[in-house]
Amino acid sequence: MEIAMDPLFLAWSYFRRRKLQQCSDICTKILHDNPFDQAAWNLKTRALTEMVYIDEVDVDQEGIAEMMLDESSIAQVARPGTSLRLPGTSQGGGPTPAVRPMTQSGRPITGFVRPSTQSGRPGTMEQAIKTPRTASTARPVSSASGRLIRLATTLFEYIFHHENDVKNGLDLAAQATEHAQFKDWWWKVQLGKCYYRLGLYREAEKQFRSALNHQEVVDTYLYLAKVYQRLDQPVTALNLFKQGLDHFPGEVTLLTGIARIHEEMNNISSATEYYKDVLKQDNTHVEAIACIGSNHFYTDQPEIALRFYRRLLQMGVYNCQLYNNLGLCCFYAQQYDMTLSSFERALALVASDEEQADVWYNIGHVAVGIGDLSLAYQCFKLTLAFNNDHAEAYNNLAVLELRKGHVEQIGDLQSSYAAAQKAEDAFPEHVDTQQLLKQLREHFAVL
């Protein structure tokens, strides 16, 4: 004799096992028979929300509108060490920009993919249009701390995350805050999130500050720091993180936030120290391991960097970027037997044309190192076949053409000058390209 399982219990089972679509379908059947079942409504909205939920704590990238219509900026030229948009030179004996690759906005390339550090703030509208935007997040998706399991809170999260209806979400949060006599910290945080999404950063700051006065919560510190980073006030954000550490000693997310800001301001040595503090609390923290490994690589310590990347491999990280970094570390550590096999693995795991281009570029870089210029030339050509805006590949092709004596000002890439011009178009601030163009122009002036 079969005993039928209660549909709502089965739906909860699916929800706990992250089978969200099956959970939603069962709740729909329950509501078809009883439209006033609040438990089913609650569970269905939670399932639909979890399907599209992203961690709001991460600093998202600025779009073209925020770039061109920034009303929060007071001074056009910030003092050194006080702005994320003008990070300046490295501090504390870290690597120089000539050693560590930089983005077009002047930020150092980090060891871990984060939305706020991919392309930075484009300088012109043309660059903003050309710059690809990513929607990925660095931190894993997690549930917000202290979320109250009530129909009202579930409804808000459904409106905010699934429907992306910030205006109605703001109205609901405002009414709930008023109903709670302005004493519920959770609803004040939701108000702050809505204001932030609408670009009202000062109003968001007030709500987050008020929420902290009622209840000290780690997520509120992270949201408020996110506001200060968008307002380009990294020093205030750092002080806020340190204030949070006084209440939550050793909190990994706060330490990581401090390390990220130092890294974005090109203060690599301080960032590395904080990432080491992160590893003292959580020795499996992927971002900290990757960033420390990247820093060791760019400070001419490939053997130590190789240990960190192998640690990631032992932890189960298995992607193109990791094998790409392993290949470079093996090459500079003179472990040539592992170099090509690592790049082969990287090519087998590529997920986009940009990744394919980066791997071929690094293989070409290795080919230059071993003196096989013919292979290097083909690799850089393959790089441009997958990414036609790869400035470094254009620059290296220009150098190879210069070695061949092809310096004429002709329209294709069979001359050093034409390739260097392409590199300048793709990345106008690239130092090596500017030096090469200067050398070529001096050559034409002599002729």
Query: What's the pLDDT score for residue 120?
Result: 45
277, 255 contact by CB (below 8 A): yes
Residue with tokens 């002047």: 106
Dist CA 353 CA 358 (whole Å): 9
Q: Mapping DSSP to helix (H, G, I), strand (E, B) and coil, where does residue 314 land?
A: helix
Give the helix ranges, DSSP H, for 5-111: 7-16, 20-33, 38-52, 64-68
Dist CA 313 CA 146 (whole Å): 34
Residue-by-residue pLDDT tens, the chain, 447 positions: 456 789 999 999 999 999 999 999 999 999 999 998 989 998 999 999 999 887 777 656 555 445 555 555 555 566 667 777 665 555 444 444 445 776 655 566 777 776 555 544 444 434 433 333 333 333 333 333 333 446 788 889 899 988 889 999 999 999 999 999 999 999 999 999 999 999 999 999 999 999 999 999 999 999 999 999 999 999 999 999 999 999 999 999 999 999 999 999 989 999 999 999 999 999 999 999 999 999 999 999 999 999 999 999 999 999 999 999 999 999 999 998 899 999 999 999 999 999 999 999 999 999 999 999 999 999 999 999 999 889 889 988 888 888 887 766 444 555 676 777 777 777 777 777 777 777 777 765 655
Query: What's the pLDDT score for residue 129?
Result: 35
Domains of the chain listed by start with CATH number:
7-52 (no CATH), 169-295 (1.25.40.10), 300-339 (no CATH), 350-446 (1.25.40.10)
50, 141 contact by CB (below 8 A): no
Give the helix ranges, DSSP H, for 215-317: 218-230, 234-247, 252-264, 268-281, 286-298, 302-314
Taking the model in full, what pTM does it have?
A: 0.77
Token output for 371: 């003196």
Q: Mapping DSSP to helix (H, G, I), strand (E, B) and coil, where does residue 102 land?
A: strand
Query: What's the pLDDT score for residue 72?
Result: 54
Dist CA 362 CA 339 (whole Å): 11
DSSP string, 134-198: ----SSPP-PPTT---SHHHHHHHIIIIIS--HHHHHHHHHHHHHHTTT--HHHHHHHHHHHHHT
Q: Measuring CA to CA, which residue among 268, 265, 271, 222 is closest to residue 85? A: 265
